Structure 1
Amino acid sequence: MAITLVVLAFAGCSALAQGINGGGGSQAEKASEMMARADNLPQGDWTEVFRNNPKVDPGCFSIDTSCLRLSARWSVDHKVSLEEAADRFGMKSNSDGPVSGRYEGCIRTQSDSARESLCIDESAEGPDSYDVTIQMERD
């Protein structure tokens, strides 16, 4: 009986920790998934300007903060369809407003444990140059 109570208490604590940290796997698994999605976005002629991959911090509890963050930006010398980029990035279609036919703007999604944005803006480099920027956060 005592062993059963200890096992149940341990399972309850484990479930609580998963709930606090957004569930869905370990931080390392979430970070790996985020990086894979970011890697899937650029095409061969895109130039990476910067990228900050998530750092796994096993001591992070996501009560007040996102434990994992990824941001990246690419420079592109032609128009990029916001809709096609969102599809490659794996963003859900229930984002902020219509994107069909657009080449500039942002798409943002948010859930209880994740926030993402994909933005395409004209670059300061000159006409027909664009910056594609992503931001991802996971609890």
Structure 2
Amino acid sequence: MRIFVGEHTDTDPGATHEDDWLGTDPQAACTLAADLNRAAWHRPNALDTTVRLRFGAVPGPMAALIHLTEVLVHGTDLALATAQTHFIDEEACRELLTIMQGMDFDSFRRPGMFASAVATSDDAPAHRRLMAFLGRDLAHF
């Protein structure tokens, strides 16, 4: 989140992707990142900007969708890995999946981003359908 804030606000995030962002107090580090993130997106005209990402510059609305994907998908990854599925926002997963299915998503299916979709049942919970669409194999969860 801190790197995204830096890219979104054209400021130095203070570290790189590979650095230890959590330090000795992971909860405080996450709280700070969330607070900075929320402030960045609540700035006037935040969606009217162009955001530089590792793969190129994108308009504010697309940056918001990419960032939502990062937060929601990695949060779901963590909830699944730690058997805390009660923290998963099924409605947000359903909405994001609907948005992604309505766009040309193939350009995002490349190494380091998303794999090919994995088969899942239509009656699976929204988070499982979203993760399968993004190429996550949830057979072990």
Larger-Rg structure: 1
Higher relative contact order, structure no. (Cα contacts within 8 Å, ≥ 6 residues apart): 1
- TM-score of the superposed pair, with normalisation by structure 1: 0.26
Greater helix share, structure number:
2
